[in-house]
Amino acid sequence: MTDVLRQMVQETRLCPADLIYPVFVTRSNPGPIDAMPDVYRHTISEAVDIARRAADAGVSGLMLFGIPQSKDEHASRALSASGVISDTVEAIKNEGLNLVIITDVCVCSYISHGHCGIVHDDVVSNDETLPVLAQMAKIHADSGADIVAPSAMMDHQVHAIREKLDSSGHEHVSILSYSVKYASSFYGPFRDAAGGAPAFGDRKTHQMDSANRLEAMREVDLDIAEGADLLMVKPALAYLDVIHMISQHRPHIPLVAYNVSGEYSMVKAAAKQGYVDEASVVLEILTSIRRAGSKSVITYHALDVARWLQKS
């Protein structure tokens, strides 16, 4: 079978528009991330340059993660109208690029103890965290974000954010909910990148048990009922069955999968040792995520993949 014929009958196709590129932005200590080869903490001007490159490559969007200059137990910098994410969104939007800008909405990188919510007596307070997330989302929307992506896994976070956005004149801003976010071992490099590892305990009280599949449908249905416009499964590789199940049972809602930091770094480590060919392995992995039913994939390989696809 010739290459042309193989492409003609190919069931699942991967293109740059299927990809979303995650970007870490900071005002202090930019530079390489040891646990994630070829990934960096960027200045705002560098993030703007990346946005231009992503748009030129045909990548559909950027997901922005902020790393503040300082942290406290109230996540104060997350609520600053001149915070690093707000200023980055404005700077990118001023470029007039054909690019969707998504902002992560969680306090873990902004709060001194590294948990995803306000903590009292070593316990995350779900209800006290909701207005913080809602205000954070509003600030991002005020700056021009197209989509806000709550990742804290707090109960009713989508409702709180939707209500806040609508009452603030941001009815057009969409919500990409981290609906199915597992308490996973694949997040280690990200926590190094964003400085968001918990100082005590873990996140199993609010993130999902990796053994559970049907629970994912309950989480999805709750978020749909509260107004989520898009859904996410995170991580991707170990949860292809969950991606497929949701795509089959809730096909009317766009589904995004996050090919997370641990998945990225494992491939990088294997490629460095010569155990695998990086490009072919990455393309196979991302195609499998799309084949499982994801409409889009958030991946640190996005810019490289766009280049590889253009050459193929």
Written as one letter, the residue type at 189 is P
Helices (H), the chain: 3-8, 44-57, 84-93, 126-143, 157-167, 188-194, 214-226, 240-249, 261-272, 278-292, 302-311
Asked if 289 and 301 count as a contact pair (C-beta separation under 8 A), the reply is: no
272 counts as catalytic: no
Indicate the pairing of strand 19-26 with strand 31-33. unpaired
φ/ψ region of 114 (left if φ > 0, alpha if ψ in -120 to 50, else beta) reads left
234 counts as catalytic: yes
Q: How far is CA 67 from CA 5, 24, 87, 263, in A?
A: 47, 7, 13, 22
Per the residue annotation, which of 71, 138, 164, 181 is the catalytic one?
181
Written as one letter, the residue type at 237 is L
For residues 296 and 215, give the distance between their C-alpha atoms in angstroms, rounded to a whole number: 22
Q: How far is CA 57 from CA 21, 37, 234, 268, 308, in A?
A: 11, 21, 25, 22, 10
Per the residue annotation, which of 71, 164, 234, 268 is the catalytic one?
234
**Residues classed as catalytic:** 181, 234
